[in-house]
């Protein structure tokens, strides 16, 4: 189904990323799903995970501006109240049943953190920890609770709490201390997802408790 939505706001998020907030128009979705976005003056659509909560009165997306991308550049310069096309929701990368006694480990690279932001907004009482691979410290999501949010920064050295130098895949020993009965969600770069999946299984995490979504 094709929905027309008014742009509410566009806000820069770090280096080359931005939040796009649009009117919800009573669209229903599950935290972790994605939508297909497009503009009325271009013949292409792209898929983006929603990062707003299920109960928010708007839809929000965290989008990376691609240097040679067409749509990501166009979406960034939309005017307030300009209409865009939104199709969906799609996908099964969401919690079918919530177990508040379980720990949820969310592992993301870049804008692959979007579905986890949505899940945390929707279920604020779940026990979770986020491992987020980013390029620069400014790419970190300020709204997330610091104690549960670990940042792995690949393009600069940062002397701050819960910040680690280098890519997330260079610090895999950190997962050895996690509860092996946790539910683990991996989202983002395909190389990161596949490499960490194998490592987590090697560390005795249960394969049936590991869920993946390739973002780019």
Mark whether 85 and 110 lie in a shared domain. Answer: no
What is the domain range of residue 165? 103-214
What is the Cα–Cα distance from 53 to 216, expressed in whole angstroms? 23
Mark whether 201 and 111 lie in a shared domain. Answer: yes
Note the pLDDT tens digit of each residue in 40-92.
Answer: 999 999 999 999 999 999 999 999 999 888 999 999 999 999 999 999 999 98
Mark whether 20 and 115 lie in a shared domain. Answer: no
Mark whether 84 and 143 lie in a shared domain. Answer: no
Mean pLDDT of the region 97-105: 93
Helical H runs in 6-113? 71-76
pLDDT of residue 2: 58
Position 44 in a domain: yes
Task: List, edge to edge, every strand of the sheet that includes 163-165.
Answer: 163-165, 149-153, 127-134, 103-109, 183-188, 210-214
* Average model confidence (pLDDT) across the chain: 94
How many structural domains are present in the chain?
Answer: 2
Mark whether 23 and 110 lie in a shared domain. Answer: no
Domain end point (choices 90, 120, 147): 90
Note the pLDDT tens digit of each residue in 159-190.
Answer: 999 999 999 999 999 999 999 999 999 999 99
SS3 of 157-185 = CCCCCCEEECCHHHCHHHHHHCCCCCEEE
Note the pLDDT tens digit of each residue in 1-54.
Answer: 557 999 999 999 988 899 999 999 999 999 999 999 999 999 999 999 999 999
Contact 22, 110 (CB under 8 A): no
H or E, element range at 88: strand 83-90
């Amino acid at each position: 189904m094709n929905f027309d939505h008014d742009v509410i706001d566009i806000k820069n998020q770090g280096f080359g990323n931005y939040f796009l907030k649009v009117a919800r128009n009573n669209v229903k979705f599950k935290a972790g799903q994605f939508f297909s976005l497009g503009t009325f003056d271009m013949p292409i659509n792209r898929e983006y995970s929603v990062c707003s909560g299920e109960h928010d009165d708007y839809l929000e997306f965290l989008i990376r501006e691609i240097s040679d991308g067409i749509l990501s550049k166009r979406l960034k310069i939309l005017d307030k109240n300009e209409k865009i096309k939104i199709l969906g929701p799609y996908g099964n990368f969401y919690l079918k049943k919530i177990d508040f006694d379980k720990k949820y480990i969310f592992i993301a690279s870049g804008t692959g953190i979007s579905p986890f932001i949505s899940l945390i907004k929707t279920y604020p009482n779940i026990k979770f920890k986020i491992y987020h691979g980013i390029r620069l410290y400014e790419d970190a999501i300020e709204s997330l609770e610091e104690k549960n949010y670990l940042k792995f920064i690949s393009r600069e050295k940062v002397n701050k709490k819960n910040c680690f130098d280098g890519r997330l895949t260079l610090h895999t020993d950190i997962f050895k201390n996690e509860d092996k009965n946790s539910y683990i969600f991996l989202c983002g770069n395909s190389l990161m997802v596949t490499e960490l999946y194998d490592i987590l299984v090697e560390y005795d995490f249960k394969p049936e408790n590991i869920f993946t979504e390739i973002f780019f």
